[in-house]
Each structure stands twice: as C-alpha cells, then as structure tokens.
Amino acid sequence: MTAKGPEELSRVGYEPPPQDWLDPAVDFGARKGSWSYPGTVKSLTALGLPNPRAWSPSDADWKLPENWEEIVRDGFRERLSKYRSLKLFLETCVRCGACADKCHFYIGSGDPKNMPVLRAELLRSVYRWEFTGAGRLLGALAGARPLTPDVLKEWYYYFYQCTECRRCSVFCPHGIDTAEITMLARELLNLVGLNVNWVTEPAANCDRFGNHLGIPPHTFKENVEFLCDELHETTGVRVHPSFARKGAEFLFIVPSADYFAEPGIYTFMGYLLLFEQIGLDYTLSPFTSEGGNFGLFSSHDMIKRLNAKMYAEARRLGVRSLIGGECGHMWRVIHQYMDTMNGPADFLEVPVSPVTKTHFDHAASTKMIHICEFTADLLHHGRLRLDPSRNDRVRATFHDSCNPARAMGLLEEPRAVLRAACRNFFEMPENTIREQTFCCGSGAGLGNDENMEMRLRGGLPRASAVKFVRERHGVNTLACICAIDRAALTSLMEYWVPGVDVAGVHELLGNALVMDGEKPRTTDLRNRPLAPEGGGPDA
Amino acid sequence: MKATKVLWPLSLVALLSLVALLGAQVPVLNPLFSVAIPYASAAVLVGGVVWRVTSWARSPVPFRIPTTCGQQRSLGWIRPARFDNPSTGAGAAVRVLLEVVAFRSLLRNTRAELKPGGRVVYAPDRLLWAGALAFHASLLVILLRHARLFFAPVPAFVEAIQSVDGFLRVGVPGLYASDVVLAVAAAYLLGRRLLDPRLRYLSLPADYLPLFLVLGIAGSGLLMRHVYRADLVSLKSFVLSFLAFRPRVPSAIPPLVALHVFLVSALAVTLPFAKLVHLAAPFLSPTRNLPNDSRARRHVNPWNPVIKAHAYAEWEDDFRDKLAEAGLPLEKESP
C-alpha cells in the first residue's frame, strides 16, 4: 500500500496553488504514487500501437516521435470532425463550477486540476490555441496555450487520473461528459505512444489469449473445473458448465477476474449454481474468456477490435443470444458501443428466459442481457428457492458501479437480487448511490500498485459512505457488480474501513440459493461457517 | 495574471462605454453609432450563430452515450425513470426541455465537504441553480419587454408581461421586478466568481466579460428609465425605421442610449464566438438529447471504421495443441 496512513491521507488542502492553471508543470518525481507506469515495448508491439520504447514519466525526455506536434494536431482535428461530443464539450462550458466537487479525485486530492472543469480546460486551452482565431490572437487572456511537451506531460498525468466514471456529467447543466473528453484525450496521447501499461498489457493479452490476464484456454478450463470441484465440496452438487459447445442457447461471458482470483471466484460460483439449478443451456468459451474491454481506456478502435470477438464467437457457436456477467465497464461497451461497432446481430435472437418465457425486448437489437436482469426476472416470477438466512452473517450495502449506473441505469435489478438473497441490506447515503454513486477510484486502467496513493485518495468518498453505514448499521459486506470493484474495493476497505468484505451480488445469491440434491449447508461459498459463534451479528 | 483576468474585461467594458458616451457627442459619428454598428453586430450575430450551429449539426454523433440518471427500462415490473433515463425520443425531448426551462441538472447540485477523520458530507446547494435561473429568466422577460419598441401596435403579450413585471408599483415610472432580479442575480454570479477561491482560480476573462457587459447594459437601461428619461417616442420611431431597413439617422443620440446600444452590440458580437454559445448545448449534447435505447435499437455510426480483430481461426491455430490436450472442441482437427 502507501507509506502514508489514513490520518495523513485524509488531511486534504483545497486552497488553489499560487501559479495559474495554464502553467503545465508536473513534478512526476515528487508525485510518485499518483501516476502509472507506461506501456511496455512488448505490449505496444503486440497491439501494433505507435512509438514503442522504454521510458518513464519521471524521465526528462519522453522520447516522443520527431513530428509529435503534427501527429497530435492532426489527430485532434480529425476527432473534432468525427465527434460532435468533443466539439460541443470543448465549446460550450461556462465554467459554472457545478462539477468541481463532484469528482472523487478532487475530493480526495484537493488538486484543482482534478476538478472536471479544469481537467477539460487542459484540452480546451490547446483547442483554443490551435483551432480558434481568438485563442491564437489573445493567448492566455483567452485561456489559450500552445501545445508543448510540458502540456503533453500534464495531459498524461491528469487524463490518467480520471476514471471515466461520468459522475460530473450528471451534474453538468450542459451535459458535458468528462469521460468523453478523457477518452479522446487518451486517444491523442496514444498516437504518440503515451499510455499506461495496466491498460496496454491487458489489452494485448485480451487480443492474443482472449482475456486480460493472459490465461491460455486450457488453464481457463482448469480454473473453471477447479471451482466446480470446490462447489461440489461446499454444496454436494456437481455443476456442469460446457466449453465452446456449439448449439447452446446462450453464450455466457464474464470478466476474467471472476474465474481467477478472490473474491471474484465466489461470484462465479454463484453463476454456476444458478445456471445448474435452472438447467440453463449455456456455454463458456475460452475465446471470449473476457467480458471487460480495456479498449474503453485507450481508443475507440481498440474497443471495437477487442469487442468483435463476442459476436464472432456467438455466430461461430450458433447460440441464440448472450448473457453477460457482473462487470462495470464491460457493460458500458455492451450497452452503448457493441451493436453500433460490431452489429447488427441479426444472426441472433431476442433473449428469452427459458424458465419464465420473459422476452427481454430492451435488448431486442444487441441480444445480450445482464445476468442481474436475468436473475431478477427469475426471482420476480418466484422460480428460485432461496434461504436468505444463510446470509445472516452478512450485513450488506450496495455499491452501484459507475458504468451500469450512469451509462445504462441498471439500478433496481441488482437490488432485487440482493434483497431476496440477504435479509440485512442497508443503503448508503443518497448522494453516494445510484446515478450519484462514487467510483472505486481504480477504474479506467488505473488499478495498478504504483498508482496506489491516488487510488486511495479517489476511493475516499466511497469509503466514507461505507464507513457511515458500518458505524450506523454494522455493515460488514460491500456488494457490487463489477470485477474491478471487487479487486479495488477490497484494498480500499482494508485501508479506510477495515472489517468490510467485498462480494459480488451473485455470490450472495449463490449462498442463499437452495439447490436440488444439495447437502445441508454449513458454510458459505467462501467456506466460512454460515452462522459464526454467537449466531451472527444480529444475535 | 490573476487580477488581470478580472481587470482586463472590466477595462474593456469601461473603454467601450467611454467610446459610446464620447462618440455620441460627435454628430458626424451618428450614422456609425445608430445604424452601422447595430447592423453590423446583428449581421455578425446571425451569421455567427448559423455558422456555429451548422458546424455542430454537420459533425456526426457516432455513439449513443446518454448519461443515465435513473432506472433504465428493462423488466416490466421495474418502474423506469422516464425523463432522467428516457427510453423513447419523446422522453428525451422532455429531458431536454426540463434542462432548458428548469435547469434540471443544476438542481441536483450539492456541496461536498471533507471533515476531519476522512468523513465526506454533502449538503444540497441550490443557490447556483436559483441564481442561474433568475439571471436567465429575468433576461428573457426584459428582452420580451423590449419588444414594445419593435412593434406598432404593441402586441398584447408584451403589455401583459409588462403589467405583471411591474407588479411592485414602486416609484414613478414603476420599478420592474425583472430589473431587480437581474441586478441581484448578476451580482451574485459575479460575486461567487470573485469570492470563491476555487472559482476564481478556474475563471477566465471570457467568464467575466459577459457579466460586465450585462451589468453595463442593465445599468444604462435602469438609468434611462428611472433617472435620465429617454424619449421613447422618438426612440421607437427610429427602431421601427431601423427594423424596416430604412433607418432615419437621428440628429442627436442621447449618451445613455448610445451606451446601451453599443454594449448590446458588443454582447451580440461575442455571442457566437464566446462562452455564450452555451445556449445550444442542452439541445445538442449527446449525453442529454438521446434516448437510452441502444440495446433495443441499433445506433448507426456514419463512419464506422473497418478494424481487423483477432480471428477465431488464428487463435485456434495458436493454441491448437493446448486446446486438443485439454479436450476443448476444435473447428479444424489436428493433423
């Protein structure tokens, strides 16, 4: 973790620095802990990305290509003509400041350039200089400044200090979306080889192996089979997933962390139990062993490239439709980009629940539904038997993941599952949930160790809300529907709110789900006794 | 740099005022101040807005990226947020309308504060919403009231607005509520920029300039109504001739009229090129004006690029031995 303790880290100064914000200087050496290591030669080469080289942000020379200025300017111009969003968001801000204290990184760091308005101004100032007459004529008076290597370095620092969570865009009276600004700024940075290895390496792995972690197909199968054995021990039930089976009704795609590490594996166990119990005709494929898409954190072209596998594999296997697991940014891609980029999915059919016969018409074109939508529908029709008392040691609250909340509106479905599976459920304060939810601070490719201090700072508003319900209601479990959350919130809780576990919604469902032929359950999916000594925190 | 951010636009407005006040004293400049500058600024305004809106309209919307601020429409038994997360075009239109007339997003505003011990607390902060709404609404009312100078006879709605706006019945001639509201709101908007260190840090001269212009315009207007009365009859006859493109250049321009018109011209000229283009934003922003229906209906990107992705066949070739060993199905059996 970081050398600084919670006491020190939570003392934040909000007084702006003496120098004007147009001054781009960032001292990377002094700010260790708040930036990420750049993409390696290996990962850039594998993806065919420009300017692969060994370098570090703390170096004076970033080894930019000779004509870097021209590349960035042309790339900027091209994107202005391709995205109305960019043009509009650069031209219509009135700097009213409503967004300023909506950013978790600003609240946790006090750095004024983490105010969404100033983050965007970093790009706007160059836009004014390069593309407007007034900017060129009046310079700093018009808030314009030329593109220099220092500006590029500043962009690197601050656009890899935004998690594209879109909380600010909820509050902006003009609907300016900093995620869009950050995405396009990162595209410009990528043009000259300025990226983060925690994005490029997973993307390269995903392209080659089929998942971010670089798990080869046989290991994928072994991992899943291992989890099946574990489930057999815990529940006495043998589950039967299939692999790349042609003609299955559904192709099921999950984020790779779900079959790789704790606590994601317990969520995966929940999926397996659910599908076994209802006898779902589904298959998993090692070719699409990743739901996440780190293209979202580098470029639109990369989103399309990595996402293409989903429809390609669905077509090859001849499935009817798709179900996706619990993952945040994966669902932004599926919901807002997949059909546009890689559709039309006219070879698939509108998803229908084989159990309840519900037609999921809201996915009539994309043909992919979220597992929470699928499960909430089963529960609503009373088609699952649950024993929520098995979760009585759990006192849960729910963290809305940024993308399902603000790029989709998946708010009630996971709550319906959670309320059915768990008798002790408490909401965090309303300014910190649903569309106003706070980011874990580690999204958009920033969840690496070297960036830990900034992650913890960014996670402070979320942690503070969890602490509030922990003190008030004894909450000990933070439920969520995102793989990055499951990893990131675990570190975040350890640091800010010890004693709170992080669990996927389907893990809690798996605990409560009564399976045909199961043995009397004495432990939950984590092999913890169902009711700890004393009968749980309620007793 | 910091003080100049305020002083520069302030001096510019002062300079413009001086030019107008002095210029009006020179009869030979009358055609310039009464006719040429107002026509030119109107032309710049219209041309600029047309150019700006076309440039936005011409740029494509490749992806459907609404910011969803409520429950999606999914399962029949879950109530969707029809306007904060619209699933239809009509719902999105209402969302835009709420944004335009009620400043819906600004109404959500909160103030976050970090307390000792890492506790973050939030308080509703509707002052900015109220100030912004008051500022824009009073500007609209004042603009509509001015329509009495543009039409003969005066339209009934203008009379109605004027009589409601004058409900205070204070002084002779009566004080308009919209004038008071505008003055208070503009002072608030300026005050928060100057006093809040965070806002002062991020504000640009371009943020102060329109506020100073509006304050100058409003000040000269109030003076003309309440202190140095303008001759409305001859003013209106000039305005009508101006609008009919047969301007009769007045023999003398009262200094306050010259100042008022000159500052309005200056504001009009900046409108299409400065931050004032923000009035188009809520109508055009893809985070607000599109329904959240991208899974139900396909959104087409007009420039959807062809991207080569890793094909299954290559992937299978790459891992053939491992796949076979693990008993995973293959498209092409191993040789």
Q: How far is B87 from chain A (nearest CA, A)?
A: 9
Residues of chain A with pLDDT under 50: 533-539
Q: From the list B59, B103, B273, which residue is nearest A173 (CB)?
A: B103
**pTM exceeds cut of 0.90:** yes
- Both B139 and B232 in one domain: the answer is yes
Confidence of residue B172 (pLDDT cuts 50, 70, 90): confident
Q: Do A312 and B201 touch (CB under 8 A)?
A: no
Q: Among B265, B221, B224, B276, which Cα is nearest to B242's?
A: B265
Q: What is the pLDDT of residue A501?
A: 97
Q: With beta carbons under 8 A apart, name residues in chain A contacting B112.
A: 101-102, 107, 431, 461
Assembly ipTM: 0.95
- Both B178 and B323 in one domain: the answer is no
Q: How far is B116 from chain A (nearest CA, A)?
A: 7
> What's the sign of the alpha-carbon dihedral A171, A173, A178, A183?
positive
Interface test with A, best of B5, B53, B64, B72 (most A CBs within 10 A): B72
Q: From the list B71, B105, B304, which residue is nearest A409 (CB)?
A: B71
- Both B233 and B312 in one domain: the answer is no
> How far is it, in rounded angstroms, from Cα A185 to Cα A200?
16
> What's the sign of the alpha-carbon dihedral B141, B143, B149, B153?
negative
Residue B283 sits at the chain A interface (C-beta within 8 Å): no
Q: How far is B111 from chain A (nearest CA, A)?
A: 7
Confidence of residue B98 (pLDDT cuts 50, 70, 90): very high
Which amino acid belongs to residue B272? P
CATH number for position B228:
1.20.950.20
Residue A276, token pair as written in the block: 């076994």
Q: With beta carbons under 8 A apart, name residues in chain B contacting A177.
A: 65, 67, 287
pLDDT, tens digit, 9 for 90 and up, residues B228-237? 888 888 899 9
**CA atoms lying within 13 Å on the CB side of residue B206:** 27
pLDDT, tens digit, 9 for 90 and up, residues B277-286? 788 888 999 9
- Both B299 and B311 in one domain: the answer is no
Q: For chain A, which residues make up each domain, given as ranges?
A: 6-30+50-194, 205-512
- Both B325 and B226 in one domain: the answer is no
Pairing of strands B119-124, B110-115: antiparallel
> How far is it, in rounded angstroms, from Cα A259 to Cα A271?
11
Residue A309, token pair as written in the block: 């596998």
Q: Which residue of B has its CA nearest to A367?
A: B295
pLDDT, tens digit, 9 for 90 and up, residues A496-523? 999 999 999 999 999 999 999 999 999 9
Which residue range forms the structural domain that includes residue B72? 2-304
Q: Which residue of A has its CA nearest to B287?
A: A175
Q: With beta carbons under 8 A apart, name residues in chain B contacting A304.
A: 305, 307, 309
Q: What is the pLDDT of residue A532?
A: 59
- Both B319 and B271 in one domain: the answer is no
- Both B228 and B319 in one domain: the answer is no
Q: What is the pLDDT of residue B232?
A: 87
CB A275 within 8 A of CB A325: no
Residue B9, token pair as written in the block: 């636009």
> How far is it, in rounded angstroms, from Cα A311 to Cα A466?
38
8-state DSSP, A530: S
Residue B191 sits at the chain A interface (C-beta within 8 Å): no
User: Pick the residue with more confidence: B65 or B56?
Assistant: B65
Q: With beta carbons under 8 A apart, name residues in chain A contacting B288.
A: 175
8-state DSSP, A42: H
Residue B80 sits at the chain A interface (C-beta within 8 Å): yes
Q: Among A108, A160, A91, A211, which Cα is nearest to A451's?
A: A160
Q: What is the pLDDT of residue A535?
A: 45
CB B315 within 8 A of CB A288: no
Q: Would you call A445 helix, strand, or coil by DSSP?
A: coil
8-state DSSP, A147: -
Interface test with B, best of A22, A86, A94, A419 (most B CBs within 10 A): A94
Q: Which residue of A has its CA nearest to B270?
A: A134
CB A350 within 8 A of CB A385: no
Q: What is the pLDDT of residue B152?
A: 84
> How far is it, in rounded angstroms, from Cα B85 to Cα B94?
11
Distances (CA, A) of B194 to A394, B3, B256: 50, 10, 28
**CA atoms lying within 13 Å on the CB side of residue B194:** 14
* Rg of chain A taking only CA atoms, in angstroms: 23
Determine how many CB atoms are found less than 10 A away from the CB of residue A486. Answer: 30
Q: What is the pLDDT of residue A537?
A: 46
Q: How far is A341 from chain B (nearest CA, A)?
A: 7
The total number of structural domains in chain B stands at 2
Q: Do B197 and A305 touch (CB under 8 A)?
A: no
Q: Do A175 and B63 touch (CB under 8 A)?
A: no
> How far is it, in rounded angstroms, from Cα B25 to Cα A448?
70
Cis peptide, bond prior to residue A344, ω within 30 of zero: yes
- Both B298 and B316 in one domain: the answer is no
Cβ contacts of residue A49 below 8 Å, gap of 6+?
A39, A190, A193, A195, A200
- DSSP assignments along B147-162, one per residue: GGGT-SSPPHHHHHHH
Q: With beta carbons under 8 A apart, name residues in chain A contacting B303.
A: 82
> How far is it, in rounded angstroms, from Cα A336 to Cα A354?
26
pLDDT, tens digit, 9 for 90 and up, residues A146-183? 999 999 999 999 999 999 999 999 999 999 999 999 99
**CA atoms lying within 13 Å on the CB side of residue A317:** 30
Q: Do B117 and A10 touch (CB under 8 A)?
A: yes
Residue B264, token pair as written in the block: 């309005």
Distances (CA, A) of A500 to A170, A323, A491, B9, B166: 29, 30, 10, 54, 61
Q: What is the pLDDT of residue A395?
A: 97
Mean pLDDT calculated for residue range B14-23 = 95
Q: Among A169, A193, A446, which Cα is nearest to A296's?
A: A446
Cis peptide, bond prior to residue A529, ω within 30 of zero: no
Burial degree of A480 (CB within 10 A; 0-12, 13-18, 19+)? buried
Confidence of residue B334 (pLDDT cuts 50, 70, 90): low
CB B314 within 8 A of CB A353: no
- DSSP assignments along A190-258, one per residue: HHTT--BHHHHHHHHHHHHTSSTT---HHHHHHHHHHHHHHHHHHHS------BS-TT-SEEEE--GGG
Burial degree of A134 (CB within 10 A; 0-12, 13-18, 19+)? middle
- Edge to edge, the sheet with strand A250-253 lists A282-283, A250-253, A321-324, A368-370
Residue A489, token pair as written in the block: 């919130």
